[in-house]
Amino acid sequence: MKRFIVREANLFEFEDVRAFYKANPDEHVMLRAEEVVKAAISEGVFFIALDTEKEDSSRIFAASAVYSVPVRDEGGKIIILKEAGGSLVNPNYRGLSVHKIFHCARVLHEFILDRGGFAEYFGAIICPNDPSVANINQAGLEPWHDPPASLVAERAPYAKEGQEIKFFRFPEKALQQAAQRLLNFANRAKLSRDIDGGHEECQLVLDLQLLKRYKPILDGLAKGDFSVLD
């Protein structure tokens, strides 16, 4: 049985991360500037999935991150937003729901470790893109109808003719579902998919600091006890 590991990336793996994005181009999920990526890695919010059967430099088959986005609010004050970057998955590994693990790990990390340090946790999607919209809705984010005008203006150039950028925000109440899902993945310890007319199962190791250091908080959130965040 194949063995996959999902964990936070390390700075020494930056070149491997960059090589992964270069080898798997996707117009909807692009690697950000080097300093931005390294900042996310340093903050523990750049997540990768590894295939242990591959050589060290080519083990990464999926990646996703959270990025800090400073913008001005309506009053002109600088506020910090946290953006859920898209999940990039090697086409040969799609169908394993790794993006769902990334969604849960990212948002839980931000709300547990960075309480009060940001105004909103959000996602932005260049539409039409029905699969990404469905994924972000399933992850608990809801339409954000009034994002800061400065953010809207900054992202507008990325939309080509016939496209629009839609914004989504994560409500704190959705943390319960995220905690339940992450703990379920950890307890299940495997991933599975239907492929080529058959069924494939893979061993899953969640080597996340979130699970090692903040399990009691995750357990509380999964039960709907939000006082664990106080």
For residue 127, give the CATH number of its domain: 3.40.630.30
Where helices occur in 114-190 by DSSP H, the ranges are: 130-138, 149-155, 175-188
Q: What percent of the chain has pLDDT over 70?
A: 100
Q: pLDDT per residue over 164-198, tens digit each?
A: 999 999 999 999 999 999 999 999 999 999 987 78
pLDDT at residue 57 greater than cutoff 90: no
pTM of the model: 0.93
pLDDT at residue 100 greater than cutoff 90: yes
Q: What are phi and psi of 213, to 5 degrees?
A: -105, -25
Q: What are phi and psi of 91, to 5 degrees?
A: -50, -30
The structure tokens 């960075």 sit at 114
Domain that holds residue 142: 3-229
Average pLDDT over residues 3-8: 98
- Tell me, what's the pLDDT at 47? 98
Average pLDDT over residues 51-66: 94
Average pLDDT over residues 123-137: 91
Whole-number Å distance between alpha carbons of 152 and 96:
33
Query: In a 3-state reduction of DSSP, which class is residue 166?
Result: strand
The number of domains in the chain is 1
Radius of gyration of the chain (CA): 17
Instruction: Report residue 50's pLDDT band, with 50, 70 and 90 as the boundaries.
Output: very high
pLDDT at residue 116 greater than cutoff 80: no
Q: Is the alpha carbon torsion for 29, 137, 108, 75 positive or negative?
A: positive
